[in-house]
Amino acid sequence: MADPEAPPVETAGHVLERGKRLSDSLLWKLQRRFFDQQGVQAWTEGTVPHYITSNAWIAGAYAKVVLGWLRDACAPSSQRGSFAPLDLRHPVHILELGCGSGRFGYLFLNRFLDLLRRSSLSHVPVRYVLTDFTESNLDYLRNHPDLQPLVESGSLDFALYDAEEDLELRLSHSGEVLSAQTLRNPLIVLANYVFDGLPQDAFSVRGGKLYECLVTLAAPEEEPDPEDPGMIGRLQASWDERPSPPELYGDPELDRILQEYVERPADATFLFPCAAIRCLRHLARLSDGRLLLLSGDKGFSREEVLPGPGEPAIAVHGSFSMMVNYHALGRWFDHRGGELLKTRHLYSSLSMVAGLLGTPPGGLVETRLAFDEAIDRMGPDDFFDLKKSVEKQYDELPLEELLAWLRFSGWDSNILLGCFPALMQRVEGAPEILRREVHRAVHEIWEAYFPLREANDLAFHLGVLLCEIQRYEEALSFFHQSVALYGPNPATVFNMGLCLFHLGDLDAALTLAGQAVEGAPEYEPARVLRKEVKAALAKRAKKKRLKKGPKGARKRAGTPR
Ligand SMILES: C[S@@+](CC[C@H](N)C(=O)[O-])C[C@H]1O[C@@H](n2cnc3c(N)ncnc32)[C@H](O)[C@@H]1O
């Protein structure tokens, strides 16, 4: 960090802005344009990391905490100062901020509704609202076929919501407006990888004095379009400091938190989540101070781990992100008489917190219990670490253990794709009892899957597994799904021909085998299949009826593309 007394540092390259307050920087505008332009492609093409916040494990963990909190909200009143019981004539709303691909929302809602239905709270009406600031994401989700049943049952709606400024939301399916006047029940808010992309400021404290860190952005060459989000990856940030008054914002809530950092004994450079705090303030107003926030991000939730002297770090992944100062958000909850639950250990990839505002009638016993079990003891961050380690061992794991891992993960499609080669090897020659479990796994994984048309074709892989356990009819329907999502790839067409061959539909098998040969002339198994189907047809023509399907060795499905 440049010395505040020294003249500004010389910056190499073409300067786009110099000495800006971080929250006013061009960076945030570029970020918004990035998401606006990319829409769902930001996730389907793997540009923006999202597995850790969009898998069955984190969805299950959040579902358990939300259910715990609802148990507290529905319990008989045992606490002074608690908020009123829920008004069950109106739904409890769960808002997901910055929902992105919608995969987390889909996984969460299905898991949560399943838990709710089987619990003593099955009578509590709940409505999940997928929100984002850009129509590009919402449009895609409104039209996603897998979300339609949830919309039609009244469990799901959508709303444009800009976390930087909006005070209320209009639901696009029901047309209802959620505002401080209309909202009857407390609010549950889920925000993963959202606060790290909202405007923040940067400060450093040295010897009890506060300095504001000002950003200068430069690009190696002149940028023809100053609004092109593609330049995010080309920008170089450098920092200067200027002395700052602790009441910089002229906003008592923000200034009070900032002042507390000036009073801490150790020197530090830290980010100040000014937009996230304002967003929480809006949500608190909307819910009349009755709020559960669940959030996961890269961030610091404890004062003692706030970084020491240094420069704020900016990570680029198509968009960019900065660490979230959950500690400051925690102070905001504290000042409002609430609290921030955090894990006892330091996170490795994803820091997770629960912000609580207002006391439910039953207190917070069930909420704390659920947070402890689902986030602190075996949370999404632990699951992610474990996954990284288990996936190195796939070649050594027997079929039972691969299946146990899939069950444990909540039938995670990413895990299936990762261990697919090992599964294929083990399934051949496996006892019937395990083949039945493979069959179940295929259907559970497909059931839990939210298709986004990513490069890896899950339906194809599941079809191949089904062929391996000789469930040709079901395999065929997975190959049809694959064609519907990805088009008629020759490998898929070959596998469809193979299924039909084993099912005894030789005419259709011949057509498909022919198409597969045409599509991929170098693919030997397709030519072999075509030859065998022709031979079988010739035999049939000689009225040697095939009684139990065609003779000859069973053929294996073509391996993935
Ligand atoms: C990094 S993505 C995270 C998406 C998703 N929550 C996940 O975990 O994969 C950030 C999301 O926040 C949205 N976003 C960015 N700025 C926002 C704002 N001011 N208000 C609401 N959403 C915003 C983006 O459109 C994007 O969907």
Domains of the chain: 51-197+292-298+319-379 (3.40.50.150), 385-547 (1.25.40.10)
The rounded Å distance from CA 268 to ligand 1 centre is 28
Positions in the chain whose pLDDT score sits under 50: 546
Q: Give the C-alpha separation, 237 to 15, whole Å.
A: 10
Tokens at 496, concatenated? 């469809």
Alpha carbon dihedral 513, 515, 519, 524, in 10-degree steps, equals 20
Number of H helices, E strands in the chain: 19, 18
How far does the centroid of ligand 1 lie from the alpha carbon of residue 294, in Å? 15
d(CA 27, CA 423): 45
CA-only gyration radius of the chain, Å: 28
How far are the Cα atoms of 430, 442, 448, 486, 493 from residue 474, in angstroms, in the given order?
Answer: 19, 10, 17, 18, 15
Instruction: State the Cα torsion 294-53-392-557 to the nearest 10°.
Output: 140
Ligand 1 atom 25: residue of nearest CA: 35
CB of 121 closer than 8 Å to CB of 112: no
- pLDDT of res. 82: 85
| Local structure of 339: helix, strand or coil | strand
Mutating to test ligand 1, I would choose from 40, 132, 414 the residue with most ligand atoms within 8 A of its C-beta, which is 132
Nearest to 145 by CA among 185, 102, 174, 207: 102
Half-sphere exposure at residue 482, Cβ-oriented, CA atoms within 13 angstroms: 27
Residue 46 confidence (pLDDT):
80
Question: What pLDDT sits at residue 80?
Answer: 77
What pTM value is reported for the model?
0.93
Q: Rounded CA gap, 332 and 309, in Å?
A: 24
Q: Give the N- to C-terminal CA distance of the chain in Å, as an integer.
A: 50
pLDDT of residue 10: 58
In whole angstroms, give the CA distance from residue 239 to residue 250: 24
Q: Tell me the pLDDT tens digit for each residue of 370-412.
A: 999 999 999 999 999 999 999 999 999 999 999 999 999 999 9
In 3D space, the residue among 522, 472, 477 whose CA is nearest the CA of residue 498 turns out to be 472
- The whole-angstrom distance between residue 152's C-alpha and the CA centroid of its chain comes to 23
Q: Chain-wide mean pLDDT for the chain?
A: 93
| Residue minimizing CA distance to atom 1 of ligand 1 | 193
CA of 195 from ligand 1 middle (Å) equals 8
Cα–Cα distance, 85 to 185 (Å, whole number): 9
Q: Which residues line ligand 1 (CB under 6 A)?
A: 32, 35, 48, 50, 53-54, 97-101, 104, 132-134, 137, 162-164, 192-194, 197-198
Which of 48, 69, 130, 62 has the alpha carbon at shortest distance from 316?
A: 48
Name, in order, each residue with C-beta under 8 angstroms of 384's C-beta and a sequence gap of 6 or more.
Answer: 51, 52, 348, 349, 350
Looking only at the bridges linking them, the beta strands covering 315-317 and 324-325 are unpaired
- Residues 24, 30, 31, 36, CA torsion sign: positive
Q: Which phi-psi region, left, alpha or beta, contains residue 543 (left: φ > 0; alpha: ψ -120 to 50)?
A: left
Q: What is the pLDDT of residue 312?
A: 86
Instruction: Record the tokens describing residue 411, joined without a space.
Output: 């039938």
